[in-house]
C-alpha cells in the first residue's frame, strides 16, 4: 500500500493499567512505530487517578510529538494540557463544545455502527469519527460495523474516519484501503511484546 494511502495508527490505552509498567510499554511502542495519536481510555472515574495517568502519558506522548486525547473528560483535557477529547456519546453538543475548547483542540466522536451518527458528528465539527467494533465482539450487543459504511465514507466524506474494535490481520488488510486510521488497543497490550504484536497486526499494510 502506498505511504500516502496507508492508514495512520491511533493507540487506545487499556481500561485499567499499572502506570509505571504501562508507561514503559507505551514508550517502547511509540519509539518503534509511527503513531498519530493516543487515547487515554481509563474506565476509572477517580479524578486523581485519571489526572496522574494523564500527566504521565502526556509527557511520554508530547516528548515524541504524538497527540493525546482523553475519553469524555472535557474539563480534564483542558486542565491537564491534553490535545483534546474523544466523545463516546455523540448526543453531546459538539458545536457547543467546539466553542468552549477552541478551534485547535481535537474533538473525536465514537459513532458505533451508525452512519447517521457519524454524519451528524462530522457536520457538527468533529475532527474525526470512529466506527466499531470492526471485528466480532461479545461486548455490547455483538453488532459489528458494515464494511460498506467505510467504503461510502472514504468516497463521500472528507472528515477522517477511524476503524476500531476487535481488529485482526485479516480485517486490517480488508479495511486498510477505506479507513484513515486504525484504533488499536486491547489487540496488542496483553501481548508479551506490544510493539511486536502491533507490527504483526499491521503486516498487511506493508
pLDDT level of residue 1 (50, 70, 90 thresholds):
very low
For residue 11, what pLDDT is reported? Answer: 98
For residue 137, what pLDDT is reported? Answer: 79
Residue 12 reports pLDDT greater than 50: yes
pLDDT digits (tens, 9 = 90+) for 18-29: 999 999 999 999
> 67, 83, 86: which is closest to 130 by C-alpha?
86
pLDDT digits (tens, 9 = 90+) for 67-122: 999 999 999 999 999 999 999 987 779 999 999 999 999 999 999 999 999 999 99
Q: Which conformational region is residue 165 in: left (phi greater than 0), alpha (psi within -120 to 50 degrees), or beta?
A: left
- Under DSSP, is residue 146 helix (H, G, I), strand (E, B) or coil? coil
Q: Give the C-alpha separation, 113 to 116, whole Å.
A: 9
Which domains, and CATH codes, for the chain?
A: 8-205 (3.20.20.70)
pLDDT level of residue 5 (50, 70, 90 thresholds):
confident
For residue 2, what pLDDT is reported? Answer: 46
Residue 206 reports pLDDT greater than 90: no
Cell 486504525, located at residue: 182
Q: Taking residues 1-29, report their average pLDDT.
A: 90
Say which DSSP state 70 is in: E
Amino acid at each position: 500500500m502506498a505511504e500516502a494511502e496507508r492508514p495512520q495508527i491511533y493507540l487506545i490505552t487499556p481500561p485499567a493499567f499499572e502506570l509505571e509498567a504501562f508507561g514503559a510499554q507505551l514508550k517502547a511502542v511509540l519509539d518503534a512505530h509511527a503513531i498519530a495519536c493516543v487515547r487515554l481510555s481509563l474506565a476509572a472515574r477517580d479524578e486523581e487517578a485519571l489526572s496522574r495517568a494523564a500527566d504521565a502519558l502526556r509527557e511520554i506522548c508530547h516528548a515524541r510529538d504524538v497527540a493525546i486525547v482523553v475519553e469524555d473528560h472535557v474539563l480534564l483535557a483542558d486542565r491537564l494540557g491534553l490535545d483534546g477529547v474523544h466523545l463516546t456519546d455523540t448526543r453531546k453538543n459538539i458545536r457547543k463544545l467546539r466553542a468552549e475548547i477552541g478551534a485547535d483542540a481535537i474533538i473525536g466522536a465514537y459513532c458505533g455502527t451508525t452512519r447517521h451518527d457519524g454524519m451528524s458528528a462530522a457536520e457538527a465539527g468533529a475532527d474525526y469519527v470512529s466506527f466499531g467494533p470492526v471485528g466480532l465482539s461479545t461486548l455490547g450487543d455483538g453488532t459489528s460495523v458494515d464494511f460498506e459504511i467505510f467504503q461510502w465514507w472514504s468516497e463521500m466524506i472528507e472528515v477522517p474516519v477511524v476503524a476500531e474494535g476487535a481488529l485482526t490481520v485479516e480485517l486490517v488488510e480488508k479495511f486498510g484501503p477505506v479507513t484513515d486510521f486504525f484504533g488499536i488497543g486491547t489487540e496488542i497490550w496483553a501481548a508479551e511484546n506490544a510493539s511486536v504484536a502491533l507490527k504483526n497486526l499491521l503486516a498487511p499494510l506493508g
